[in-house]
Structure 1
Amino acid sequence: MNLGSRLLIAGEMHARLKQHLLPGDGYESAAVLLCKRVESCPEGERYLARELILVPQDQCRERRPEYISWSGEYLETAIDQAEQESLSILLVHSHPGGFLSFSDTDDDSDCSVIPCLHQAIEVPHGSAIMVGNGAMRARFYQPSMEKQEVSLVSVIGDDIAYWWGDKLHSNSSLERPVAFTSQMTVELSRLSVAVVGVSGIGSVVAEQLARLGFGEIVLIDFDRVEFKNLNRILNSTVNDAEQERLKVDMFAESIVSHRGCGVVEAVSESILTREAVLRVSKCDVLFSCVDSLEARQVCDLIASRFLMPLFDAGVTIPTRKTQSSYAIGDVCGRIDYVKPGGATLSDREVYTPESLRTEYLRNADPVAHEQELNDGYIKGVHEEAPAVISLNMRAATASVNEFLARAYPFRHDSNDNYARTRFSLAACEEEYEAEGSFIKSENVELALGDREPLLGFPCLGRKRTR
């Protein structure tokens, strides 16, 4: 599936850009975005907005409702900041009148300015426009001045907005599709989603995403179907267990049976491999359905580096000892939505340096750490085939609905209030935590893309060839 080019912008950066470009005075304003181009996506470039340079209104030579002229010193600043990593420079201005097309004046300006940028940094550079509701159109020019319209401008914040280049024109409707409608299905058919971990929760997530109509579904899992997990992996059969089939191959075959060919891709690798990381990085949405902290850390880093919305789900059944045996203490689940530039899974202490170290030691010496009792669904109880499909479905459905609530808002309250959902089936409770309830640290990984070593891990670095 050729997804076309993407411009990805974190919600907080887009909000700053919109506030500056549309101050309410009816005149055009200007800014510059410095974008990291993901070179591992030659079939559909991805531009990650990393830095924002605002051109002060009082520093512009002239501002009119349909025209703006500003000092070249801000271009020089942009070039200076972009040179070290050969970032692409995107010149952005507003159309306060709502005209969502590039004007002849815009074309003439690009023909004059863009070649100068190419002389300084020989990578694609471009221009973009924004109208009153924040919708954007963008285009990039190769050094040859061959023009490429950006297929999709995606803004990932508390809400997720998709602005399609071929759907936006001077008199087009800027309304987003309504949740649960056929218009939503049409848009999903143009998006790519990655599901990391295709087991108890992941198989349910993948099933729902496939039937919702996503155009491309990438499955990541290295494990195989066994008899002990037939009771919680959707669509798995006795024959699959007997043949020890890869989970991703089994599930991909199931998706093909009702969606046809060309929709699903099975990657039988751990997410801790370079191949899997790069494949996930080309998707529009990421669902983390893994059972290890290290895998969650990798998904967290992918989301930050490639500006992807991340949905992470997990369930657990704590127990307590009784005189003769044990009893269920709780039956609970957690769903986290992580937006680029927001509180990461690390900030939320889903994993910590200490817990990662403990997990490593436990895996390195499982006997000493009694892994069979500490891991798994039911804490403290060794169960080869826990009967948890109903719990998995509860968490998986909440995770998928969380995406729908972000991309096609239907909640009565702001999505900012639902950065984390916790539920307890034992207490019949559901609690929510707002984005602001987490202490957010500086995210040095944001929009670094495929900078080497990949994700900052030497083990994922590009292999040297003789």
Structure 2
Amino acid sequence: MTAQSRLVLTEEIHAELREHLFPGDGKEAAAILICTRSPGSALKLLSKKVILVPHDECKVRKPDALTWPGEYLELAIDEALPQSLSIILVHSHPGGLFDFSLADDNSDESTMVSLVQGVEAIHGSAIMIPSGAMRARVYHPDLSGEDIAMVNVPGNNICFWPCDMSGQQPGMAFTSEMTASLSKLTAAVIGVSGTGSVVTEQLARLGFGKLLLIDHDQVEEKNLNRILNSTFADAKAGRPKVEVLADAVERIRGTRIAHPINASVFDRQAVLAVADADVIFCCVDSQQGRLICDLMSSSFLTPLFDVGVTIPTRLSRTGTPKIHDVQGRIDYVRPGGPTLSDRRIYTPESLHAEQLLNSDPEAHRERVARGYITGVQEEAPSVITLNMRAASACVNEFIARAFPFREEDNSDYAQTLFTLSGCLEDFASEASFAKSPNILLGNGDHEPLLGLPPLGV
């Protein structure tokens, strides 16, 4: 077993599976997952489609036994063959056994031969217990078996079930149990400047097992008032921001936790690295950066937390700029839910305006202001307190979903907006946003990556 191997299901597929696998008669039931694969370095299977096997099609259905109908194995092979997708045979354990039984071993011995001969890909099997917890394993072409380290369901509650646990959602929020659970997870932080450096600091001290730090920029003297752990020496040397933050993580946690990637999120190298993550924290200040994070969340079925801050201004009676508000925003995007695009966090118009800024600053100047403080050209804005407020809310949003503690359902908190000038906090539910069809959902390693030709092989 490799520690980073995963089977990931959307919340919708997991709910459909659970309803079908436990019809209430106390007998085992069957279904089949058709999965794409992640393009990253770790084995990561992404649920793309579920085939429900009718209960009466199984010749044997007992509380501790099940036979697979050949017709549905052939149906799965036909579905997977055109793109060499992976097939995962799923059945229930009504008694709650969170392990594969001898009967399961014998069943796999016969069914996996057919799957491997039918589709040249890695295939496997999985079990689900009444709580919804799942455990999975895969078989290589030589039919040698391997446990999947963890099954993830990134829904409104982020569920993850390590194979070496009892099937219970691990740990209580803000405890050492939570720290132990986080040690099994990988987080990607996209952009490690103002808010990103604060998010990185928190994730390191919370105990994440691996941090992927992605940023193409170098530390400058004007950054020192808002990038944690950066120094004057770093600015003078023009050190990459990711290296500065990785050194800080090493001082806090030791080696092999932080993995700095000094590249733009638009680079294939960065996208392939993020494909291994269990969660994405988007801390960029560009519209195009948010677009890429949104696409990675959909393609790799990875939960996304996006944070942004702004200080809008207005003209006073004397014609000088005056602060109108001090705002922060945190969005949680679950794969299969409303995307950042659906929420209009970025739009075709804003992407075009940003592209215009990069190609023709003069033409852009009359159309849109840039920076933390809109309408004011400020090279070194002193916004670390605002960044810390927003970054803390972002990481707490993750904790609230991975280790639920809210009194209300997490679906009510798809977006959080706060204003420091008005001392208010507002929330929007998923139902507040119209959801568009998402053709990239679970696309995995399909080329070109993220549906973008520049990211192709």
Which structure 2 residues correspond to residues 9-408 of structure 1 after superposition, within 5 A?
Answer: 9-41=9-41, 44-167=42-165, 172=166, 174-324=168-318, 325-370=320-365, 374-408=369-403
Look up the SS of the partner of 1:218 in the other structure. Answer: strand
Percent identity among equivalent residues?
A: 54
Classify 1:173/1:38 alpha carbon distance in 2 versus 1 (closer, same or farther; 3 Å): closer
Which of residues 415, 424, 433 is equivalent to 1:429?
Answer: 424
CA shift at 1:143, angstroms? 1.4
Return the alpha-carbon distance in structure 1 between the equivalents of residues 340 and 299 of structure 2.
14
Look up the SS of the partner of 2:354 in the other structure. Answer: helix
The amino acid that maps onto 1:347 is D
TM-score computed with the length of structure 1 as normaliser: 0.95
Deviations 1:269-326 (A, max 9, x none): 0001000111111111100000111010000011110010100000011111113212
Return the alpha-carbon distance in structure 1 between the equivalents of residues 122 and 167 of structure 2.
30
TM-score computed with the length of structure 2 as normaliser: 0.97
How many positions carry a matched residue from both structures?
455
Equivalent position of 1:454 in the other structure: 449
CA RMSD of aligned residues (A): 1.3
Whether the 8 Å contact between 1:372 and 1:382 is mirrored in structure 2 is no
The amino acid that maps onto 1:314 is G
Return the alpha-carbon distance in structure 1 between the equivalents of residues 301 and 4 of structure 2.
17
Return the alpha-carbon distance in structure 2 between the equivalents of residues 95 and 120 of structure 1.
27
Classify 1:84/1:371 alpha carbon distance in 2 versus 1 (closer, same or farther; 3 Å): farther
CA shift at 1:25, angstroms? 1.8
Return the alpha-carbon distance in structure 2 between the equivalents of residues 108 and 245 of structure 1.
57
Return the alpha-carbon distance in structure 2 between the equivalents of residues 203 and 225 of structure 1.
12
Return the alpha-carbon distance in structure 1 between the equivalents of residues 292 and 435 of structure 2.
18
Look up the SS of the partner of 2:256 in the other structure. Answer: coil
Look up the SS of the partner of 1:154 in the other structure. Answer: strand
Deviations 1:152-184 (A, max 9, x none): 0111100011111122xxxx3625310011111
Whether the 8 Å contact between 1:194 and 1:219 is mirrored in structure 2 is yes
The amino acid that maps onto 1:188 is L
The amino acid that maps onto 1:74 is Y
CA shift at 1:68, angstroms? 2.0
Classify 1:259/1:31 alpha carbon distance in 2 versus 1 (closer, same or farther; 3 Å): same
Whether the 8 Å contact between 1:340 and 1:446 is mirrored in structure 2 is yes
Structure 2 portions without partners, runs of 5+? none
Look up the SS of the partner of 1:84 in the other structure. Answer: helix
Look up the SS of the partner of 2:67 in the other structure. Answer: strand
Return the alpha-carbon distance in structure 1 between the equivalents of residues 366 and 119 of structure 2.
53
